[in-house]
Every structure is written in structure tokens, then in C-alpha cells.
Amino acid sequence: MRRFVAMGPALVLLIVAAAAWWVVPGVLRRLDHAETVRRVELARGMLAEDDLLTRLDAAVRRIASAVEPSVVHVEVIEGAMGSSGSGWVYDERGHVVTNAHVVRGARAIRVQFFDGRIVPGVVVGADVLTDVAVIRVSDTGSLVPAVRASSAVPQQGDRVFAFGSPFGFKFSMSEGIVSGLGRIAGPSLDMGGFSNLIQTDAAVNPGNSGGPLADAMGRVVGMNVAIATARDEQGRRSEGQSAGISFAIPISAVEYVVDQLITRGRVSRGFLGVSFPRFSETEQIRHRGEFKGSGIRVERVTPGGPADAGGLAAGDIVVTINGQSTATFANLRAIVSSTRPGEAVRVRAWRDDRFIDAEVTLGEMPPEAIVGDNPEFHRQMLVMQLGIDARRGEGGVTIRGVVPGSPADWAGLTPGLMITGVGTARVVDLKDLAVALLEQGWSVGRDLTLGVIDPRAGPSARPSAVVVRPRAE
């Protein structure tokens, strides 16, 4: 009995501990649940009182309602193959804008509007150097042209909305912000670096190509250049997916090209008449230890050219043109080439420890200046446009490879053949061939007649004419 009495307190403690082990967690859970319910009710009450997000949703829906009727889905038939992209209505006369790479090689085009109508379209013109093309549709009765932000310049951090048909999901919309301005996407895109591209983090995927990029007011500020245009060094498409970095052509560059394609069928670009080092590096200007800015150093001025007449000289460091920074060669080239020939521009340059201002009336950029002197750019251009990987040979350009399904492939060109001419123009190197593409209207859909020989046939081999068409028969 005494032993039981001695063990009593311990037993009581054990029973109390066991009860606490079972009861306390339940109590704590009920208390935690009560706190959660309180927080939820508080949050719901605050959301009911503050409709900020609801108003934001409504604003985004209004942007969709304002832009979507102007968006189109573009279907392209290329021989036995097909592809698709996006576009948008430019005006009430039936002009639709898209990327040049979307309609390249098109044998037939079908344009689908947001209301389900599908109508045929024809290419009015295309500019491969800015990747801009114009399609015309005959059914103009129910068109809703997009509102363009012609005079507005997007700023870093602005909200933007990308429209198009990613992966074939027609009339889709994604949201992001302007991540950067003045970007050059590089030779992996079908462009020549003439546009200061807008960088955004809006989801842009294959199929978004040619779709509009709109601002928070529903105005078009640019045109999407989808990742679908990326290629490897052999010219094969690399169908990438959105990685938080996408690019758009600014509306100012789009309008500059489109208006000329509609009225003239070709694009004229401004020409400054200066040359820069092949690998142009930004010059940092300092004076007496004080930072002044940056620019691009002029290596040579064309005698009698626009820059020469305006007072620029070799050694000048160009800082701005019309108030826009020329911190990189790409920026400078984009500004000049998107200005019409005959227009005067204000050039600020650094010379002899001081700034000078010059007014230069731009000339028209010749094809030789457009393609430049970089052999790698020439090679990439020929891969992307004709579908040939080529090098300079003895007496012409030797074909090293042909991209399957390309215009060169359709024409029957094979590795080992040598191109010696285009029409009446003689071809000695890659630059000659690249210039001929521009001069003879390849970018606006005209056929090329190549002079081709087979060196393997011996010294007596004579050139034969091979017609290369931009689309399959």
C-alpha cells in the first residue's frame, strides 16, 4: 500500500502528461485555425474594400478588346509545306503588316481575322533587313486598323502586351514590361541590325512573329520578332521557346518601311557617308578628368559625301544624331538608316577636346553600304536568303552546302557548283552576291537568274543559267 501511495504522484504526472500530449496539439490547432480564419476574413474584407486588382484586370481586358480586332493569323503555303505567323491591320485599304520571314517563300497566303473570316492575301513587298513585310487583302469591308503610337517612345519599365498565335494558339495575349531599348539581336535573326529593338519579358514564342506589341493604352508600339527566326550557322531554324527575353521592332521603324513598301515597292535608307573601324568600340570621352560621354569614332569620310559636305572629318567621335545617343555602332546605323534620304539631321561630335554640331543632309544608302564589308554577315545573309553556305572560289562563289527546302534547293543547286554571275552582274565574292540580291529585287519577290558552272567539268565548262525563285512552284 505504501508503495502504491509512493508511486501515486508519479502516476498522476504521467496521466497528466499523456493527456497534455493528446489534448494540447488539438487546442493549438484550433487556435491556429482560428487565427487563419481571422486573417482570411480580414484579407477578404480588405479585397472587397480595395478593388485595385479588379480594376487592373478590367483595364487589361479593355486592352485586349481594343487590340484583338486588329490582329490577324497568317497561314503560309510553301510548296508542299506550310507555316504560320501573326500580323495586324495597318490601314483601311487592306494592308496587313507582318515579318518578312513569315511570308518568305510563300506560294499562297491566307489571312484569318478575329471574327473567323479567312481571306487570301498577296505580298506587296518585304524588307529582309528590317524583317518587315506588307500583305494586301481584297476584303476591306470590315477591317479594324490598329492604333499606332507613332510619336510615343516606350520607356524601360512600361507595361506591354504581345498578341499573336504562339504555337498556333490563335489570338493569344501575354503581358510583360519593357526590359531594355536599343537592342540588336544579332545575326541569328533574319535582320541586318537596322532596328533598335525593344526588349521585353512578355512571352513570345514561335507563331508570335509579326504580331503587334501594344502599350497600356492599346496602341501598337512595336512588332514582335519571335524566337522562331533564330537559326544555327547552317541556316536551320532553331524553334526556341520564350526564355523571358523577346524582341520587337519599334513602330517608328515599321512605319518607315511599310509606308515606302506601299507607295514605292522598295525601301530607301539614309546614308551618312562615313566608315568606322570593322570592330567599332565605344569611345569614352574624357576632358581634364571630367566624364563627357561616349560615341563612335569616324575612321573615314567619303569625299564629296553627305558627312563631308556637312563638315564632319575623320577622327570625330559621333555622340548623338538628332539628340539620340550613338553609343554603339548599331545604334548609329539604325538611326541613320531609318531616316529618309534628303532629310537633314543634327550630328553632335567630339573633336579636339570640344563638342561640335553639324547639320548633314543624308544621301541614299547604296546596296554596297547596306551589306557592309563583313564577310561573315555576307555568308549569313546568303544562308538565310538563298539557302546556300558559300565561300569565295577561283572566279566566283563556291557552294559548300544547301539548306533543304530553301530556294537554292528548289532550283537544284548542289554543293560544288560555282556562281559566277547574277543577271548581267559579275560575281567574284560573297559581297557581290549579297549586293545583287538587293539590287535585283530578291527581297520583293523577284526571281534571280544565276550564272552557274560546275568546276568539276574541267576548264572548258561554260556557265549555264539557273533561275532561283523565292517560292516553290
131 is catalytic: yes
Distance, CA of 26 to CA of 30 (rounded, Å): 6
> Cβ neighbours of residue 455 under 8 Å, at least 6 residues apart?
393, 394, 398, 416, 418, 461
Tell me which residue of 241, 38, 260, 279 sits closest to 129, measured CA to CA: 260
> Cβ neighbours of residue 417 under 8 Å, at least 6 residues apart?
398, 399, 452, 453, 454
SS3 at position 73: strand
Integer CA distances (angstroms), 291 to 284, 326, 464, in order: 8, 16, 61
429 is catalytic: no
Q: Which of 73, 83, 86, 101 is catalytic?
A: 101
Distance, CA of 46 to CA of 153 (rounded, Å): 37
Q: Which of 131, 215, 316, 389 is catalytic?
A: 131
Q: How far apart are the first and last CA of the chain?
A: 111
209 is catalytic: yes
Tell me which residue of 393, 403, 103, 372 sits closest to 233, measured CA to CA: 403
The answer to whether 468 and 448 are in contact (CB under 8 A) is yes
> Cβ neighbours of residue 10 under 8 Å, at least 6 residues apart?
none
Tell me which residue of 360, 274, 350 sits closest to 317, measured CA to CA: 350
Q: Which of 84, 174, 209, 337 is catalytic?
A: 209
SS3 at position 233: coil
Catalytic residue set:
101, 131, 209
